[in-house]
Amino acid sequence: NAGVTQTPKFRVLKTGQSMTLLCAQDMNHEYMYWYRQDPGMGLRLIHYSVGEGTTAKGEVPDGYNVSRLKKQNFLLGLESAAPSQTSVYFCASRHRGQFATNEKLFFGSGTQLSVL
């Protein structure tokens, strides 16, 4: 059981380049999330999905697009990267469980992105 897998783990881009971050989960979770983590700002929600074929904006969606064509995959795209998008990106999926006490987020190991 791999859990939540993010690829790539590291990436360096030049301003204006594009890239896609892939998040894959093998736990059959409906809800998936993309966050960015910056020093002193915690994790900020970029976009999220409540199921296959759905996406919604989070707190900081500008400059990013997402797609959820398959239930197990949630893609985060940067069409034209900017230095302000230098960050650590985390993907997460929500485990609902039979009881409310079992609810928790499973996180990937993160992608460190630098935009020069």
Partner 1 sequence: AQSVTQLDSHVSVSEGTPVLLRCNYSSSYSPSLFWYVQHPNKGLQLLLKYTSAATLVKGINGFEAEFKKSETSFHLTKPSAHMSDAAEYFCVVSDTSGTYKYIFGTGTRLKVLA
Nearer to partner 1, 19 or 45 (CB): 45
Cα within 13 Å of Cα(83), Cβ side: 1
- Tell which one of 26, 103, 114, 116 touches partner 1 (CB under 8 A): 103
Answer yes or no whether residue 58 interacts with partner 1 by CB under 8 A: yes
Q: How many residues bind partner 1 (CB under 8 A)?
A: 26
What DSSP state is assigned to residue 62?
Answer: T
How far, in Å, CA of 49 to CA of 94, rounded?
10
Answer yes or no whether residue 74 interacts with partner 1 by CB under 8 A: no
Amino acid residing at 64: Y
What DSSP state is assigned to residue 41?
Answer: T
- Tell which one of 15, 27, 59, 114 touches partner 1 (CB under 8 A): 59
Amino acid residing at 84: S
* Residues facing residue 87 across a β-bridge: 113
Answer yes or no whether residue 63 interacts with partner 1 by CB under 8 A: no
Q: Which range binds partner 1 by CB under 8 A, 7-15, 64-72, 74-82, 107-115?
A: 107-115
Which residues 13-42 are close enough to bind partner 1 by CB under 8 A? 31, 33, 35, 40-42
Q: Are 99 and 91 in contact (CB under 8 A)?
A: no
Q: Give residue 113's Cα distance to chain centre.
A: 12
Q: Which residues bind partner 1 (CB under 8 A)?
A: 31, 33, 35, 40-45, 48, 50, 56, 58-59, 90, 92, 94, 100-101, 103-105, 107-110
